[in-house]
Amino acid sequence: MIKSLLVSTLSVSALVMTACSGGTQTSETSGKVSESDVEKAVVMATTLSDVIAHERRSEETARDQYRHPKETLEFFEVGPGKTVAEVWPGWYTNVTAPYLKDNDGKYVAVLYPEGVSERLDKRIAGYKEKYSDSAVYGEIEYGAFLKDSGPILPAESVDILLSFRNVHNWMGGGYADQAFSEFFAALKPGGILGIVEHRLPESAVQDPKGSSGYVQESYMKDLAKRAGFEFVASSEINANPRDTADHPMGVWTLPPRSRLPKEGTEAAKGFDAQLYKNIGESDRATLKFRKPL
C-alpha cells in the first residue's frame, strides 16, 4: 500500500512539474515514475532510527542502552503495514506507535480492564491521555487483559503481539497459561509473539510464582508451547552478563527501581546500593514465537 501511494504521489508531482515548466506534453509517458524513484522514496520514509532519535523521547533515551528498542523491534519483525499489539504497554509506546503511524501500520494497546480498581482506572486514563495525540501516535486501538478478563482482542486480528517484562506478573497471579492462550487466539496464523523478560539462569531453581521477577527461558518456552506456539529464535540483544539474578529484593534491586532494604533487616546489613547501580538493568531473555499457519 505504501508503495502504491508513493507511485501515485510521485506521478502527480511529475505532472505538476511538467506543467510548471511550461511543458505541453499530455501523453501518459510524461508522468511516468521509474522503479528506482519509488525505491528512493521508500528509503526516505520514517525509520525506527528516526523515531528513536526524536526529541519527544529525550527523557527516555537513557534506557535505550538496556532496552535496545531498534534492534528488539526489528528482531520481532515490526515493520510497515503491520498491526502490532502490546500487552500492558508503557515505555515502548513512544517508539512503536509513531513508527507504525508513519508506515501504514496500526498500534493496539492492551491495557487493564476498566472497573477493576480505582488505581488501575487512573493508570488507564493516564495512558490514554498521554498518547492521545493522533498526529503523533495515530488512532491507537485498545484491548484489555487481566486474569479471567476474557478475550483480549478479536480473534486473529493482529500480526505481532509484544510483552516486555510481564511474565513474572502473570505467574504471580496464577494466570500465565491463560495469558499465552489469549495471545495465541489474538494473533493471525503466522503471527509473531515477542517476549522480553528478566532472565533466571537455568542452573537456578524457578519459583512458579516468579517472586524474584526472574524467569527461565525454558519455563517461558514451555508456556508458549502449551498454548500452541512454535519457538522461532532467541536473541542476546538485551543480555547483561553483569546481572547474577540473585539480589536481595529480586530484580527490583537493580535500576530503574533501585529498591532499598528496610532499615534494621538482615538485607540492610552491608547493603551497597552503588554496587547494584553499577550492574545496570537486568539481564533479559528476548524470545520470538510464531503461531503456526
Percent of the chain with pLDDT over 90: 82
User: Is position 230 within any domain?
Assistant: yes
| 5 & 85 share domain | no
| 133 & 6 share domain | no
CB 145 within 8 A of CB 151: no
Considering only residues 278 and 269, tell me which one the structure prediction assigns the higher pLDDT.
278
CATH of the domain at 81: 3.40.50.150
Task: Quote the pLDDT of residue 30.
Answer: 46
Task: Quote the pLDDT of residue 36.
Answer: 52
Task: Quote the pLDDT of residue 29.
Answer: 41
C-alpha dihedral, 273 to 278 to 282 to 285, nearest 10°: -160
Q: Which domain holds residue 5?
A: 1-18+31-44
| 153 & 179 share domain | yes
Task: Give pTM, 2 decimals.
Answer: 0.85
| 213 & 109 share domain | yes
Largest CA distance in the chain: 88
| 181 & 231 share domain | yes
User: Is position 23 within any domain?
Assistant: no
User: Is position 49 within any domain?
Assistant: no
CA atoms within 13 A on the CB side of 228: 17
The rounded distance, in Å, linking the Cα atoms of 277 and 43 is 40
Residue 259 has pLDDT above 90, yes or no: yes
pLDDT digits (tens, 9 = 90+) for 117-133: 999 999 999 999 999 99
| 14 & 147 share domain | no
| 85 & 207 share domain | yes
Q: If you count them, how many residues does the chain have?
A: 293
Give the helix/strand (H/E) hosting 223.
helix 217-227
